[in-house]
Amino acid sequence: MKVFVFGGSEGVGEHVFKRLAAEGHETVTVAETDNRAEALRMLGATDVIVSKKNKNFTGGIGGSDAIIYIAGSSFGAGEDQEILVDYEAVVKSLEEAQRQETGRVVYLSPVRTDESEESKETGGKYKAEDWIRKSELIYTIIRTAKKVSKPGKGTIKAAETIAEDDDEIPHEDVAAVLVAAIDNQNTFRKSFDITEGRSSIKDALDSL
């Protein structure tokens, strides 16, 4: 499978490249510099388009079977933080995906499971989700607890809503969920939350 990865600059993204490569997928992404492009290739990216400010990415979408979109947000974002999401960039990217008939997208939302309803409405965080739900894409929208740089356990909890405070989840496990969701039909056209838990990733996704 050919997977286009948006927003794979660090943290979760680096684990996504490693997992996709380990599972034998072809991975395409975008980098702003040659040095970063080489670093992404070392992580497992098959093809890296060097494009300042990620402007000229459309050629890489063509022929892709799926997109993993890791939505960006400002540092420290989370509970009651007015973070900003580049809504226009999300829509531009996914409109191009539709035009080129890449219909499958797994979207990692910047919305955290511990945010207040007021916070979720700020900074454009919900706008991209709403657009995706109304699109013709076969989408999966995933929200997480606080992401942390710890070794993954390979076990999670997944549910339509998880509202527990102080939860967290390793970057590695988030990446594993994103990759596993690509071809898991039980996640198609669904939105759900994930955090640390006791179920295997497959069992957690299959039970949604």
Residue 182 CA to residue 114 CA, distance in Å, equals 25
The 10s digit of each residue's pLDDT in 3-37 is 999 887 678 999 999 999 999 999 999 888 899 89
What pLDDT is recorded for position 79? Answer: 40
Confidence (pLDDT) at 190: 98
- Domains of the chain: residue spans and CATH: 2-206 (3.40.50.720)
The residue-averaged pLDDT of 116-143 equals 82
Give the Å distances, CA to CA, from 208 to 157, 179, 199: 10, 16, 12
Q: What is the pLDDT of residues 148-201, one digit of tens each?
A: 999 999 999 999 999 777 799 999 999 999 999 999 999 999 999 999 999 999
Interval 36-77: pLDDT, tens: 899 999 999 999 988 765 555 666 788 899 999 998 643 333
Determine if the pTM surpasses 0.85. yes
What pLDDT score does 165 carry? 74
Whether the pLDDT of residue 143 is over 90: the answer is yes
**67 vs 73: CA distance, rounded Å:** 19
Does 106 have pLDDT greater than 70? Answer: yes
